[in-house]
Amino acid sequence: MFKHVNYNSAGKVASMCALLLLFSGCDKKTEAEAATAPVASTTVGSEVDDSVITAKIKSEFLVNESVKSLDIKVTTMKGDVMLSGFVDNPAQIDTSVRLAKGVTGVKNVNNQFSVKDGGTTVGSKIDDDVITTKVKSALLDDVLIKSFDIAAVTRNGDVQLSGFVNSQDQINHSIDLVQKISGVKSVQNHMTIKN
């Protein structure tokens, strides 16, 4: 009289359907957003691939004695990798670029490193960390930028901004915003507009 239903299987199917609906709506935009959005976009799949590439590169850096202790920022967009930060010498740049190019899925490596000039003290390192925190907070709080895609590294008050952004306006606005932060001496722009 009553048909037996396996609720465990039905629950799994319902969960899968809910996830599919969730992911299908992830990239939906209003008509106004679609009209003003840049043509280039990423998909959930490409973002996952980029995250895997970034993780593999960071793993390579961690096991390499000459670069493992460096503060290297790795940003990946559709297989294009941007390496940035401050290094001690050109040999560390060469090693980092070589390691990144050896990772499966990497199409191109964009070297945005700066070679350190002079040493740092514990006090200046702490000051630089405070400045970097202020910079990251300002970039996240700003309505025009609000981006996790911009990496910031500070060395003796000099801030290096790198990553992929949507427009030249975002680059200009980011630089203006960071230059106003207390303790910032200069800003190096290593940001690239997304393809």
Whether residue 21 lies inside any domain: the answer is: no
Whether residue 173 lies inside any domain: the answer is: yes
Out of 18-27, 58-67, 79-88, least confident range: 18-27
**Half-sphere exposure at residue 70, Cβ-oriented, CA atoms within 13 angstroms:** 28
Whether residue 33 lies inside any domain: the answer is: no
Region 169-187: what's the mean pLDDT?
A: 94
Helical ranges in 25-121 per DSSP H: 31-36, 44-63, 90-101
Whether residue 23 lies inside any domain: the answer is: no
Print the domain residue range for 154: 44-193
Whether residue 83 lies inside any domain: the answer is: yes
Whether residue 14 lies inside any domain: the answer is: no
Whether residue 153 lies inside any domain: the answer is: yes
Beta strands across the sheet bearing 158-165:
150-155, 158-165, 186-193
Domain count, the chain: 1
pLDDT tens string 112-170: 888 877 666 667 778 888 999 999 999 988 888 866 678 898 988 999 998 888 889 99
pLDDT tens string 98-118: 999 999 999 999 998 888 776
Residue 47: band (very low, low, confident or very high) from pLDDT cuts 50, 70, 90: low
17 contact partners, CB below 8 Å, separation of at least 6: none
Region 27-43: what's the mean pLDDT?
A: 43
Whether residue 48 lies inside any domain: the answer is: yes
